[in-house]
A and B are shown apart, each in its own frame.
Chain A
């Protein structure tokens, strides 16, 4: 039964697929090669990341700034796709867009702030200096490493990795970094709870509100 259905579907879709394949062969001199498509996608993602980043910094109200952050995260997810690891790309969206940004939005709503963004004044000169320092620091660290070891860096597209292999790596060879990251999250959470409860005096019994 299943085989006969399969045959029917094949006979229906076969000519269509053949038509598209012949179209592809016919168009192949005009169509860009895969590497060019990859460069194009890379440029697009870089533009999205930079545009989102600038929007996050320069926007005068917080929610617009968060929209910029979402754009930047989207671009990074695209970069992961380009690196042949769709699982990481989806996780980037799931965690950063689906959870982190939503929580930032929550924080914006809990704090008193107006739509016009009263905090958005032009930053002071030292603040700009610190910002530039923070911008240059990764370059200062990563630049020499890349320059010294440029011969050893593999610039080829990595092979698609199996999600199972990734999980086994995280729980065997890289288990200590993996656990350390969760400790950082725990510390951050404990700090948030401490800061949140510091202002409150414990409520006396029988006292309403």
Chain B
């Protein structure tokens, strides 16, 4: 690998741009989520602050910045403050190998998807540390749920991605996009509909969103693993949750929906349109489906998604072997 100043400058610029994208994404998505929730539940949503409540999310983040950080008694200090940092910073790395446009990739890593999956593990670890360190029974229960859920849902997610990797023969996200065409019938979603479905279900489980938000189920555990966090600690968890949603949406767009390729003119706009459609889908099902019970959550995964993923992978392997 060429470790010149040019590479360093490229990484620096990419990371700064990614931080900007993460913050902008959180501000926009909080507003979209609350407004969409309002319309789905037949109420107006935020409408007081600014026209149609558009400044609400910015006011909320200002409030979070100004809030006192409250630390409960007998916490494990190192882990309590490490956890939000550990939730936030690895996410910056995860956006590096994603091809946003034909020429716009933070850092073209040959094994891009492995990098994403490797550093995504730190998110789970931060949830565990947060739940354990805050010396709170709800936090501990949330962490215990987070661990079994994320271990379970990571497997079908990887199996679904593996089917596409088998078919393309590459771990590089750019090459996976290049293997697809510009029109919807040339995208992987039509070749691998089952893998797309498995990925879609397990991305909701992996990002801890309703109906699979058991680690922070408000009605049972107040806020689960981040019950005791206030101010910026909470804000970092919040930012990283929305950034993780954005990341899985970008990976989904890259793997199944043709990435930056689209009708008429390829470019960065298609990546963002597709990713935000998936984001809206995630928001939509959050306010449409009730939360599943914990045993149901694990049964969906181990009894349905995992065998389906294995069968899909097996069929893909046979077809790839027979039709070179």
Q: Contacts A70-B125, A102-B121; is A63 near B79 (CB within 8 Å)? A: yes
Band of interface residues on B: 35 or more
A136-159: contact bitstring with B at CB < 8 Å (1 yes, 0 no)? 000000000000000000000000
A105 touches B118 (CB 8 A): no
Identify B6's interface contact among A20, A37, A84, CB under 8 A.
A20
Interface flag for A34 (CB, 8 Å):
yes
Identify A97's interface contact among B78, B121, B148, CB under 8 A.
B121
A97 touches B122 (CB 8 A): yes
How distant is A91 from chain B, measured CB to nearest CB, in Å? 7
Interface flag for B9 (CB, 8 Å):
yes
How distant is A49 from chain B, measured CB to nearest CB, in Å? 18
| Secondary structure call for the A interface | helix
Identify B103's interface contact among A6, A64, A87, A99, CB under 8 A.
A6
Q: Chain A residues near B1 (CB, 8 Å)?
A: 84, 86, 160
A98 touches B114 (CB 8 A): no
Q: Contacts A9-B103, A21-B6; is A106 near B118 (CB within 8 Å)? A: no
Report Cα–Cα, A101/B9, bound state, in Å.
34
How distant is B30 from chain A, measured CB to nearest CB, in Å? 28
B5 touches A93 (CB 8 A): no
Interface flag for A168 (CB, 8 Å):
no
A72-93: contact bitstring with B at CB < 8 Å (1 yes, 0 no)? 0000000000001011011111
Interface flag for A17 (CB, 8 Å):
yes
Report Cα–Cα, A67/B133, bound state, in Å.
12
How many residues of chain A are within 8 Å of chain B by beta carbon? Answer: 40
Report Cα–Cα, A63/B110, bound state, in Å.
35
Which of B's residues lie within 8 Å of A, judged by CB? 1, 3-6, 9, 74, 76, 78-79, 82, 102-103, 109-111, 114-115, 117-122, 124-125, 128-129, 132-133, 135, 140, 143-144, 147-148, 150-151, 154, 169, 171, 265-267
Which of A's residues lie within 8 Å of B, judged by CB? 1-2, 5-6, 9, 17, 20-21, 23-24, 27, 34, 37, 61, 63-64, 67, 70, 84, 86-87, 89-94, 97-99, 101-103, 105-106, 109, 115, 160, 163-164
